[in-house]
Structure 1
Amino acid sequence: MAQRFVSIGECMIEMAGGEDRQYRLGYAGDTLNTAWYMRALLDPAWEVDYFTALGEDRYSGDIRKFLDSNGIGTQFIGTVKGRRPGLYMIHQEHGDRHFTYWRDQSAAKLMAEDKDALNVALEGASMVYFSGITMAILHPRARGRLLGAIVKARDAGAKIVFDPNLRPALWSSQRVMASMLTAAASVCDIVLPTHSDEAPVFGDASVEETADRYLELGVEEVVVKDGANPALIATAGERVTVAPPAGAVVVDPTGAGDSFNGAYLSARLAGKSLQDAAAAAHRVAGIVIGQRGALVEPGLVR
């Protein structure tokens, strides 16, 4: 049986650029970005599937074609009548990114309505990946349904991976966000938090405190990202700190963390050590921030 990576989340229409009001249309989203880099870096024998929901409109069809043409499986993508993909625009100003979103009618919000479809999509998966954004856009009951399917996949042998990817604007309150993300992390084998996102919510004074908090939940492997600072990779018996290479030029940091995740996970699946996997992840993220948009050509990161 083929080994299979399944990523769960929302694919959106991305309008990137903004110089002189000129934008480039693409498709992206945190969990799709990671799937993209997994496909670029994993052994070709691996299957990479994306689980989400789309509509019946032109852009939903284009997204399916885009994924298919780039080796990302679409057979588990649901169709929701009357809905369409969400959209976001990236505007660069004073060296920083500013995002504007339109996602109220996003089909992906209903991706976890069908329990049977969820279970079928995750059946036989070797690794399942999801994020805090995946959780945030779902109805509260659907969050429980998703976690139930993920636990079932873990019981069947899948490795479960989670990026908390905190986005307070998507949640009804910070308390709900913190409790739901903690519940999600507690069923995972690998968690990839970003310290600067976590510290204001959980009170972590250091990357070590962020790692310890997840290890105490029973997570086996915690990879704490910290922007341009070194990443901390921690397990019950080992801790390593890996700095990014010097000299990276930041053109657009969109997708940097997602590409880091994909490079790290693909390296670990290839048998690389914590140290070597983190070094590979920094290398790929350094390439991605030098390009515009969340997805760069696979040949640039291999």
Structure 2
Amino acid sequence: MKPTLDVITYGEAMAMFVAAETGALADVSRFTRRIAGADLNVAIGLSRLGFKVGWMSRVGDDSFGQYVRDTLAKEGVDGGCVTTDKRYPTGFQLKSKNDDGSDPTVEYFRKGSAASHLSVEDYVPDYVLPARHLHLTGVAPALSPTSCELAFHLAKEMRAAGKTISFDPNLRPTLWPSREAMVASLNALAAHADWVLPGIGEGEILTGHTKPEDIAGFYLDRGARGVIIKLGAKGAYFRTADDAGVIASQPVAKVVDTVGAGDGFAVGVVSALLEGRALPEAVARGNRIGALAIQVIGDSEGLPTRAELDALERGNLFATTDTERKVSETLH
């Protein structure tokens, strides 16, 4: 009997080998294995907060594929629509270690992977449509034309069923045949979403606008209910038809690993909105979890459990205050 899910998402998971020492990847001799994948990070984060989450994908009939399945079981993420594809392998990646807080170097080994062969054939209506919410990223549609087709099919089916959709562009330009194809496809996909969550740089690439309020307006004009734009150290800007503002970033003593910050942000925003919280509260939680994510090595290791998040919120740590919220004009 299939579970009734709160959230459904799909994409590619990879084994990730993180350097145990600083320096060029070619010089590193020791690595630690972890899990990676933007959509899977979000699935894990939401599961830790008590949501019933299903993640759809394909993995190879190999040790990396088993590692992905074992991770799903450990994290309580439902893998009922994860297919073992005996024809193609599970992808993996290498990630450097930096001590200065800068973005690490990541090398991918994913071409021709099992997940790149995702298609509409992987769609199971009885599994997907009962879910309350669909979360999409821009990574999975970039894997292949058939995976992109699946993203649009999921969005259209969930929209027709009256469910909510969030979309994080998560740009991967090297996976697309051209920048123009990436922009056209992801903006068309965003038009199906209720909540759009680009970074400021991503928004500039996708819309041609440089100001957060103009980027937000671009997506509001295309049907979004709310747009939340990540501003890095400046926090995050949000805009709806009735409200706009900035929620300040959370102070972090030391940045350890920046990869996964945006996924943590999405976990915070989506979880709060699904709980019926106001958008400013959701953005504050996004900042909060994003800040936690960058203080540890690994893409999902810093994502909190519900007990940990509740303790932070009860203690009023990182809480939204009137002084943290500013109108959008203060950015310019």
Partner of residue 8, structure 1: 10
The answer to whether structure 1 residue 227 and structure 2 residue 232 are counterparts is yes
Where in structure 2 are the equivalents of 1:119-198 lying within 5 Å?
119-139=125-145, 141-198=146-203
Question: Could you tell me which residue of structure 2 aligns to residue 27 of structure 1?
Answer: 35
**Alpha-carbon contact 2:232-2:249 (below 8 Å) kept:** no
Q: Give the root-mean-square deviation of aligned CA atoms.
A: 1.9
**Worse-matched range after superposition: 234-243 or 173-182:** 234-243
Shift of residue 3 of structure 1?
Answer: 4.7
Distance 2:84 2:96 in 1: 30
Whole-Å separation in 1 of the counterparts to 2:240 and 2:5: 24
1:286 corresponds to: 291
Aligned partners of 2:253, 2:43: CA distance in 1, in Å? 23
Task: Tell me the alpha carbon deviations over residues 207-248 of structure 1, each in whole angstroms, 9 at most, x when there is no partner.
Answer: 112111111111111111121112111111111210112244
Partner Cα distance (1:138, 1:90) in 2: 23
Distance 1:290 1:149, change over 3 A: closer
Preserved contact between residue 112 and residue 118 of structure 1 (Cα < 8 Å) = no
Listed one character per residue, the Cα deviations across residues 10-44 of structure 1 (whole Å, up to 9, x for unaligned) are 11111113405321101121111111111122xx3
Indicate the residue corresponding to 2:25 in structure 1.
none
Matched-pair contact (CA < 8 Å) for 1:263–1:277:
yes
| Kept in 2: contact 1:85–1:105 (CA 8 A) | no
Bigger Rg, which one:
2
Give 1:256 deviation, angstroms.
0.4
SS in 1 for 2:104: strand
Number of equivalences: 297
Match of 2:59 among 54, 60, 72: 54
Higher mean C-alpha displacement, 146-155 vs 206-215: 146-155
In 2, the alpha carbon distance for the partners of 1:146 and 1:200 equals 21
For structure 2, the 5+ residue unaligned runs are 22-27, 310-332
SS of corresponding position for 1:157? coil
* C-alpha distance after superposition, 1:22-67 (max 9, x if no partner): 21101121111111111122xx3x3111011111112211211210
Q: CA deviation at 1:96?
A: 3.0
Distance 1:248 1:216 in 2: 39
In the alignment, the residues of structure 2 paired with residue 108 and residue 121 of structure 1 have an alpha-carbon distance, to the nearest angstrom, of 19
Secondary structure, in 3 states, of the residue corresponding to 1:52?
A: strand
Query: Residue 245 of structure 2 aligns with which residue?
Result: 240
* 3-state SS, counterpart of residue 245 of structure 1: coil
User: Structure 1 residues 82 and 286 mapped into 2: Cα distance closer, same or farther (>3 Å)?
Assistant: same
Q: Tell me how far 1:203 sits from its aligned partner.
A: 2.1
Per the alignment, do residues 91 and 53 of structure 1 end up closer, same or farther by CA in structure 2, a change over 3 Å counting? Answer: same
Query: 2: distance between equivalents of 1:10 and 1:252?
Result: 21
| Equivalent pair of 1:190/1:220 in contact (CA under 8 Å) | yes
Q: Is the contact between residue 14 and residue 28 of structure 1 (CA under 8 Å) also seen in structure 2?
A: yes
TM-score normalised over the length of structure 2: 0.84
1:255 equivalenced with 2:260 (yes/no): yes
The amino acid of 1:266's aligned partner reads: S
Contact 1:132 1:163 in 2 (8 A): yes
Moved over 6 A (4+): none
Task: Using the TM superposition, name which of 105-114 and 259-268 deviates more.
Answer: 105-114
Distance 1:63 1:170 in 2: 22
Whether the aligned pair in 2 keeps the contact of 1:166 and 1:198 (CA below 8 Å) is: no
1:162 to partner: Cα distance = 0.8
Q: 1:135-156: per-residue Cα shift (whole Å, max 9, x none)?
A: 10022x5423431232112211
Q: Does 1:269 align with 2:274?
A: yes
Task: Provide the residue aligned with 2:46 in structure 1.
Answer: 38
The alpha carbon displacement at 1:77 in A equals 0.8
Is the 2:141–2:149 contact (alpha carbons within 8 Å) kept by the matching residues of 1?
no
Work out which of the residue numbers 88, 102, 108 in structure 2 matches 1:101. 108
